[in-house]
Structure 1
Amino acid sequence: KDKDFSAPEAFGFPYLGLAISGGHTHLFRVDQLGSYTVLGRTVDDAAGEAFDKFAKMAGLGFPGGVQVDWLSREGDVSKYNFPRAMIHEDNLNFSFSGLKTAAQNQLYKMSAEERKTEISSLCASYQEAIVDVLLAKLTRGVDETGIKTVVLTGGVSANSRLRSRAEEWGQRQGCLVVIPPLRYCTDNAAMIGFAGVHRLRKGERAAEDLGPSPRPYPGDFKFSDSL
C-alpha cells in the first residue's frame, strides 16, 4: 500500500470501474468478476494518450503522464482555460482530442522561453481539464446507476491529482472510492495472475492450442454494451 491511499480490504458488487490508461478510458458497471457492462467510453483519444501527446508536444519526454503530474505540482490549475469536452452532455462518453488540439494551439502561440517559464501552469491546467471530465462523468454514472462504489484502474489512476481529487469527490458524494496502491496501477504481473487464479478456481482451463493474440478469445469475458 502506498502511504497516502490504502485500498479497503474488501468491497462488494456491483461497482463502477473507471479504466483509464493510454489505450482506454472506459466506464464499466461490474456485477461480478468477468462480467462487465460498458456504460461509457472515449470517442477519440484515451486520457493517458492525451497526457502522452501533450508531453510530446511540450518536449517533456516519455512517459508523459509522469512528467505532467510532476511539473503540475508547482503550477496554477486555472492559468489556462482548456476545454472540457462532453462534460455537460447527457451520456457517459469521453473526448480528449479537442483538449489536445487546444493545448497544441496554445503552445504554438508561445515562444520557447514562454513555454519554459509557463510549463508548470500549462501542465497543471491541462491535467485539471482531464481530471474535471473524469470526475464529472463519474458523478453522472453514480447518479444514473445509484451505485456508490467506484474503482479506479489503469495507468492514469497513478496520477496524484486524480487520486487526491477522487478521494475528496468520494467524500462529497458519499461514495466508496477504491484506488489501487501505486505499484498496481501500471502494467504488472499481479493483475494477470489474479485473473488466472480466478478462472482456475472456477474450474476453467485453457485449450492446449492457446497462444498470444491481440484480440479477445471467444467467451473470454462477458461484455455487454449499454451504449
Structure 2
Amino acid sequence: MKLLIIEDEKDLSDSIRQYLALEQYTCEVAYEFESALDKICLNEYACIILDITLPNGSGLEILKELKRQGKEDGVLIVSARNSPDDKIVGLNLGADDYLSKPFHLPELGARVAAIIRRKSFSGQNQIVIDHLTLDIRDKTLKNNEEAVPLTRKEYELLLYFVSNKNRVVTKEAIVTHLWGDDVDMADNYDFIYSHIKNLRRKLAEAGCPEYIKAVYGMGYKFSIPS
C-alpha cells in the first residue's frame, strides 16, 4: 500500500518512512506545501500522514483540496499543535484521525493500519476470497490453513488488486502504487509482467480460478464473481 508523508522535519520524516517501510508500506515524502499539493493531485494514497504546519502553506489547505477533488485518501494528521480547535477543524475537513507530537512510531503505524482497514476493507483484518484468506495485519495469504508463500511485492500486488476488485487498473497505476518515487528506476514495465505472472501461478497452484484478467489496451482486473 502506498503512503504519503507530508512533514517538513526531515529527521522525523525519514524516521517515519523507515519505520513504515519495515511494515511493508511504500512511502513517498513531501517536505513542503507545493510539492505535497502536486503529489495529492497526481496520485492516490492508501493513507496520507499530514503535518498541519508546512513551509509556504498549511496542511489544512491540503485537506481542503482533497475534499474539493472528492478524493478518498485516508488522512492522519500529526502536529505539534495540541489545540482542540486544530483537531476539530482537521477532522471536520475530512481527516480520519489526529496524533499529537511527540508520538511513538508503533502508535503511528497502528493508526495508519486502522485507517486503511476502515477505508479500504470495511474495518476487517482478514479478507476471505473463496478458500483463500488474506490477512492484512500479518501480511500473509493462506489456502485454507496452509500458507501460500508470496514475496513482498507479490503480497502488495495482491492487496492492491483486492482493494480494487472488479475494477480495471492500468499497469502505470500498479507500478506507481507499488514503487512510488522509485518508479523512475525502471526503463519499462516488463518487471510488472513478471510479478503478475508469478502471482497468477501461485494462485493457480492454490486451486484458484483465474482472478487476474488482462484487459486489452487498458490494464488488469481482479474479478471476483458476486
**Coarse TM-score class (shorter-chain normalised):** under 0.3
More strand by share: 2
Tell me the TM-score normalized by structure 1.
0.26
Tell me the TM-score normalized by structure 2.
0.26
